[in-house]
A and B are shown apart, each in its own frame.
Chain A
């Protein structure tokens, strides 16, 4: 039997790799991919909690996380397309319109 801790270590590793990608990439598409990585890391821990605590609530929460991820991807990618249409760039350090 694999200990619960190992799943949590894996989840933490995936999450922090996502954080690293989100903080350091310039390309906005990679930033979105990093967000998906983070959500997946959280989902791994939720499902493993659900299994080890024998409680369905973890899986329900993971289900909602996937729903929100789908909504986020749809809106986010639409924003990317409209930004690209106006600015011809996908690099976040070149998107400085809202700077005061």
Chain B
């Protein structure tokens, strides 16, 4: 009973908050609501036995990406522009596209059946802790993608500096 209640609570909060996030007119309010939503998603990850990912969700998403958004919003100081129209003129079209996509996805999920299960069981995770279990897979089987990810981050760092710099001395 309790697991279901926990999930329904989280699911409701996540859905309602994400709907609120895209319809606020003040970006700061939207970011604060998103922070609460990330907490609930992290709780969901804990419930799915992914405690390392839950921590990463909070550290990277809430602690880094969202702070970056907040920083940019505060730097641009958008307060005076809050009164203008927040959606494009043809926003019902977007609603139609969203509803169509949702129906399509729900129909697909309805006929979904689970494939064969692997060996990454709860007992295995509990035996060697989730961080160690994920780390073992990440640093053996997925070492090349991991290195590529580090390259992507390096490019992002350099790109962000180059783009945000006032003028480049030639």
Contacts and interface: CB of A to CB of B under 8 A. Distances in A.
Interface of A: 1-2, 4-10, 12-21, 23-27, 29-30, 32-34, 36-37, 40, 43-44, 47-48, 50-57, 59-60, 62-64, 66-75, 77-82, 84-85, 90-91, 93
Q: Is the interface of B mostly helix, strand, loop or mixed?
A: helix
Contact of A5 (B109, B121, B149): B109
20 contacts: A1-B3, A5-B109, A12-B105, A16-B101, A23-B97, A23-B98, A33-B34, A36-B34, A36-B61, A36-B65, A40-B61, A43-B57, A59-B134, A60-B145, A63-B53, A63-B56, A70-B64, A70-B153, A75-B160, A84-B76
A13 B45 CA distance: 17
A55 B120 contact: yes
B126 interface: no
B68 A74 contact: yes
A25 B134 contact: no
Given A63-B138, A64-B149, 20 more contacts: A5-B110, A17-B21, A20-B97, A24-B87, A24-B95, A25-B88, A26-B87, A30-B22, A33-B27, A40-B61, A47-B44, A52-B117, A53-B117, A53-B118, A59-B53, A60-B145, A66-B57, A68-B152, A74-B156, A90-B78
Interface residues of B, number: 83
B60 A66 contact: yes
Interface in B13-30: 14-15, 18-19, 21-23, 27, 30
A32 B85 CA distance: 18
